Amino acid sequence: MTLRPGAPARTRTPRAAAVAVLGLVAALAGCAGTGPTLGRGPAEIVREAVVSTAAAGPSHATVTGRTAVMGQEIPLDGGGVVDPLHQAADLTLQVPSLGAVRVVFTGGTLDAQLPPAASGLIGMFSGGKSWVSVDVNRLAQSGYGAPLGALGVGTTDNPAQQLGYLKAISDTTRLVGPEQIDGVDTTHYAGAVDLDKVPAADDPSTKPGVDRLKAQLGSSLLPVDVWVDGGGKLRRVGQTVSVPATPGAPAGAPTTSTTTTITFSDVGNAPEVVPPPADQVSDISSLLPG
């Protein structure tokens, strides 16, 4: 479930634009520091939180994920910085059998710094450089994207882009109740993202990825849980999704279940995401099919 940016690779929106967006959000949402706007329904509160969190700037994020395939559970955990406004992220993920993999998303490009366990294989194509990069749109369309497109836990999914999907959360979103996260009071909401209404569904370059996710889900609705803190910012986003382990399998066949969670802290106070130096990166997009 990847929302692709339209900006050229490795560009950043000027900081002045970020300030302007922040001002606009403050004008529309009233006193943003006092919590969600009174009188709004759960879906509107979540949409406000998405915009307010993005406008605040980069945030630290902890990512946890579990994929269960035919009784075997595969963890994928890590953390780093997520910047929804610029659709950028810098995460280090612990990948089974590989170790720590650092992935940086900027301007439609995925840069990966692979651990020694993978350096021999990738080294044949990278020319000895420590980073490899691919175009994320081409990656998604090639079929090598993460199987569920689940909120950025897979190394091919940009969580900063995918948070924008929450703007298309259904009006049927419901209030679950108050909960604490790391000692912070939050309000828990449960709903579903309408994939037919996300911007990526209308963009020819990203529509194939959205259609692929819908086909995997067998639905245009992607279930999601959201926690909003008292300042009207996202504190946690999570989901559990199950799809057939084999495409087109009949009911009752084995499934692949993925649970993913992103927890935010220091909203607006994390360092900005910077791509690795170009002379240390080898673009391997041409190796993808299609």
Q: What is the pLDDT of residues 155-179, one digit of tens each?
A: 556 788 778 889 999 999 999 999 9
Displacement of CA 6 from its chain's centroid (Å):
16
Residue linked to tokens 């499934």: 255
Degrees, nearest 5: CA angle 56-81-15: 40
Q: Is the CB of residue 217 less than 8 Å from the CB of residue 176?
A: no
Structure tokens at 14: 């000027």
For 26, half-sphere exposure in the C-beta direction (CA atoms, 13 angstrom radius) is 8
Give the model's pLDDT for residue 247.
60
Give the model's pLDDT for residue 29.
32
pLDDT in tens, 247-266: 666 666 667 788 889 999 99
Distance (Å, whole) CA 225 – CA 237: 6
Give the model's pLDDT for residue 30.
30
Distance (Å, whole) CA 137 – CA 142: 9
The parts of the chain modelled with pLDDT lower than 50 are 1-35, 37, 146-153
Distance (Å, whole) CA 132 – CA 134: 7
Give the model's pLDDT for residue 47.
96
Degrees, nearest 5: CA angle 191-181-166: 30
Distance (Å, whole) CA 7 – CA 136: 13
- The model carries a pTM of 0.77
Question: CA-CA-CA-CA torsion for 43, 46, 48, 53, nearest 10 degrees?
Answer: -170
Give the model's pLDDT for residue 120.
64
